[in-house]
A and B are shown apart, each in its own frame.
Chain A
Amino acid sequence: MNSWVVAYLWWIPAAPFAASLVILSLSNARRKSAAALAVAGQALALAMSMVAFAVSMQAPGFRAVQNFTWFTFGEQALRLGFVLDPLAAAMLVMIALVGLCIFVFSIGYMAEDKNFTRFFAYLSFFSGAMLGLVIANSLLLLFIFWELVGLASYLLIGFWIQKPSAAAAAKKAFITTRIGDMGLFLGMLWLYGRSGTLLFYDGGNGCLESASFAILGASTTFIALLIFCGAAGKSGQFPLHVWLPDAMEGPTPVSALIHAATMVAAGVFLVARVYPLFSLGAINGVTSSLTVVVWIGITTALMAALIAIAQPDIKRILAYSTVSQLGLMMVSLGVGGVAAGILHLLAHGFFKALLFLGAGSVIHGCHGEQDIRKMGGLGRLMPVTFVTYAIGMMALSGVPFFFSGGWTKEEILHSTANWPRSHLPYYLMLAGVILTALYMTRQMIYVFFGKPRVAAERAHESPRGMTMPLIVLALGAILLSVVLTPAWPWLHDYLVGEPVHFEFGRLIQPMLFISLVLVGAGIAVGFWMYRKAGLPDRGRPAEVDPLEYAQPALFRFLANKIWIDELYDRTVIAFSWMAARLSDWMDRYFWDGLVRGLGGLGQLVGIFTTSIDEHGINAGVDETTAGTRGLGRLMSAAHSGQIQTYLGAVAIGMLALLLLYAWLA
């Protein structure tokens, strides 16, 4: 199946890229033009994504590819391409729409910043790279965009470069994801070595199509796991999750766009994209690579949810929540619920961007304060932010019926419950659902309920340019649930390529009740535990967290992120330091000594040959030249230049010859 649209698909990433380039060439003072250009580029990308989405709805299971040759070496040709299928189209629209909201929000949020134009240049650059990533039809092209979004992430985390913590966080994010990317790169090389192509779909010859499966054989498991390394790095999966919470040092719109809605989801997207590699040779839908994905995912989900409970920073809570949700998506992919995972990704993109922008609005209103213990009572002071934030919180907690996150979370639970290998992930996930509701309730109470504390006293509602995107995203989080309900799972069937039909009976399922009870319990426990948060209560000072008062050891354990950073400091980083020191020592003394020794040997040989040269060979040559010179001097005496002397010599010679002749005759 082919379509004219796919030939122009590259225009979608090209629009923000072009905007970024133009903005980079503007002077710092051209704020309005920079913002207008960025928003225009993004709006153009959104419009084109909509067209692509509409085209992809033509038929169930639509897939159009456009491949081209990048360069040839010898007989091999390296080919890249673009693909339009439901997965790509849905991602395109989500990224473009969420991106546009965040661009508009940023105009208000970054209004005071002196590097306003640079910010929008980076933001557009990121958007272009991310849009390119989802339409890539080649693992290599995907990898290129993958690294470009990594670069954009690095630049934007470290946007406030004057803050040492931001610079360190940017470096940490870059290096940590690079560890994963190393795996992805190796997997890519391996895949290319075995199958000879990196195109996903190539009319039956792509690496995800049947022709290559026969060649790949048993190595697929390792290739898949290596690719998963890259996905884990990008999507903040345990044990490479440590960079994501630190990435919150970047401006809040960046956290919303890159570290919540889009880039961190790229790992989930990658696994979904190369899913045939993971599921090759599956028995009952279980392969060893997918099992790894499940266990890593559930570990991440539960661990991050636990840590989120004890964090005081509004953005860090959301960051750990993102890590946790990404873990859920991974579990969903691992147990075979690819569509469920991607649906959750899309829904999560909306409501997590909403939550981050809401947090941005709160931080903006509280003049840069991020500690939730210093806020409180913002519900009355910032009503729009409060309502939209509450919608995002309920979507994230998984409240059913009206909020997109509820349906997708249920679908993930459903897939996980049916996993044949083990039921443990399912039960852990149920615990995760309670924890999610709990930490979001805690955050809501601390930020919006009670009396205003230090930072919230002079709080004010954000300007219209910032609240509008919140409203749009909140509507998105709610309206998306219309196409997600089990009764009419339009988006689900669109993704898996089946015609959709309405069936009311599917709406009421046991999972719905389980979910309802768990979420209700989580929120209820949250309200009960934190009802006096920020207030003194039975001997507890106001600034101490209720959980900290009840379980100080546990709280400290969670508040310090389970000591994982410290563990890495003591192990990986200490080891790196030692290795570096050892290398340094080896370099300085061992290798350097070796080199110096060799050099000294050369010098000795040089001295020896010099003496031979000077005293042996040179003397001989000198002697020869002296002889030649003496002879020359002798001969030159005969050459007086006097022509008559010469003539006389000739005459004497002639006479001598005549006499000789006469004597001999």
Chain B
Amino acid sequence: MTPTLQVFLLVSAALFSIGLLAALSRRHAIFILIGIEMMLAAANLNFIAFWRFGGEHQPPIGVIIALFSIAIAAAEAAVGLAMVIAVYRHYRTTNVDQFDRLHG
């Protein structure tokens, strides 16, 4: 049995929701980053799925965008981790609820 497009979209939506939940509720900065990565993965899954079920003999646009997205996500992860380290050095903690210098 071949899974249908709906299955992929449901998996992707679940993945996005879990990532969003992680980004919103976890205190630890690394876990927030992981949440963000999960949301990105959900988006990539959508690209691939729409391309795969879009019809025969199409140019591989969805795959290319996904690859781009993964490359950018890698760069983003590197920057994000570097920022986490920098913030840790400054605050001696990685709990984002303590970074409230911007409060009004």
Using CB atoms and an 8 Å cutoff, list the residues of chain A in contact with chain B.
Answer: 635-644, 647-648, 651
Contacts and interface: CB of A to CB of B under 8 A. Distances in A.
Interface residues of B, number: 13
B78 interface: no
Contact of B104 (A639, A643, A644, A651): A639
B24 interface: yes
A635 B23 CA distance: 25
Contacts of A641: 99-104
Contact of B23 (A638, A639, A642, A644): A644
B72 to A, nearest CB: 19
A651 B36 CA distance: 13
A648 B104 contact: no
B25 interface: yes
30 contacts: A635-B104, A636-B103, A636-B104, A637-B104, A638-B104, A639-B102, A639-B103, A639-B104, A640-B103, A640-B104, A641-B100, A641-B101, A641-B102, A641-B103, A641-B104, A642-B96, A642-B97, A642-B100, A642-B103, A643-B96, A643-B99, A644-B24, A644-B25, A644-B32, A644-B96, A644-B97, A647-B23, A647-B24, A648-B24, A651-B20
Contacts of B97: 642, 644
Among all A-B residue pairs, the 3 with the closest Cβ atoms: A636-B104, A641-B100, A639-B104
B27 to A, nearest CB: 8
Interface string B65-104: 0000000000000000000000000000000110111111
A642 B103 CA distance: 7
A47 B97 CA distance: 106
Nearest to B32: A644
Contacts of A648: 24
Pick the most buried of B25, B101, B102, B104: most chain A CB atoms within 10 A of its CB. B104
Given A641-B99, A644-B32, A644-B96, 19 more contacts: A635-B104, A636-B103, A638-B104, A639-B102, A639-B103, A640-B100, A640-B103, A640-B104, A641-B101, A641-B103, A641-B104, A642-B96, A642-B97, A642-B100, A642-B103, A643-B96, A644-B24, A644-B97, A651-B20
A contacts with B: majority SS = helix
Contacts of A640: 100, 103-104
Contacts of B99: 641, 643
Contacts of B100: 640-642
Interface string B4-24: 000000000000000010011
Nearest to A634: B104
Pick the most buried of A640, A641, A651: most chain B CB atoms within 10 A of its CB. A641
Contacts of B102: 639, 641
A642 B100 CA distance: 6
A640 B104 CA distance: 6
Given A642-B97, A643-B96, A644-B96, A651 B103 contact: no
Contacts of B23: 644, 647
A640 B23 CA distance: 17
A597 B86 CA distance: 73
Given A643-B96, A644-B96, A651 B24 contact: yes
Nearest to A635: B104
Nearest to B101: A641
A640 B97 CA distance: 10
A120 B96 CA distance: 97
Contacts of A639: 102-104
Nearest to B96: A643
A651 B25 CA distance: 13
B64 to A, nearest CB: 26
Contacts of A651: 20, 24
A272 B19 CA distance: 119
Nearest to B35: A647
A639 B104 CA distance: 5
A389 to B, nearest CB: 109
Nearest to A643: B96
Nearest to A654: B20
Nearest to B25: A644
B39 to A, nearest CB: 10
Contacts of B24: 644, 647-648, 651
Nearest to B23: A647
A503 to B, nearest CB: 122
Interface in B17-50: 20, 23-25, 32
Contacts of A635: 104
A642 B98 CA distance: 8
Pick the most buried of A635, A637, A640: most chain B CB atoms within 10 A of its CB. A640
Contacts of A637: 104
A640 B100 CA distance: 7
B42 to A, nearest CB: 14
B55 to A, nearest CB: 24
A359 B25 CA distance: 123
A636 B103 CA distance: 7
A578 to B, nearest CB: 80
A647 B29 CA distance: 13
A655 to B, nearest CB: 10
Pick the most buried of A635, A644, A651: most chain B CB atoms within 10 A of its CB. A644
Nearest to A639: B104
B23 to A, nearest CB: 6
A640 B98 CA distance: 11
A647 B97 CA distance: 12
Contacts of B103: 636, 639-642
Contacts of A644: 23-25, 32, 96-97
Contacts of A647: 23-24
A639 B23 CA distance: 19
A147 to B, nearest CB: 79
Nearest to A655: B20
Contacts of B104: 635-641
A255 to B, nearest CB: 95
A51 to B, nearest CB: 96
A638 B102 CA distance: 11
A348 B67 CA distance: 126
Nearest to A633: B104
A159 B20 CA distance: 108
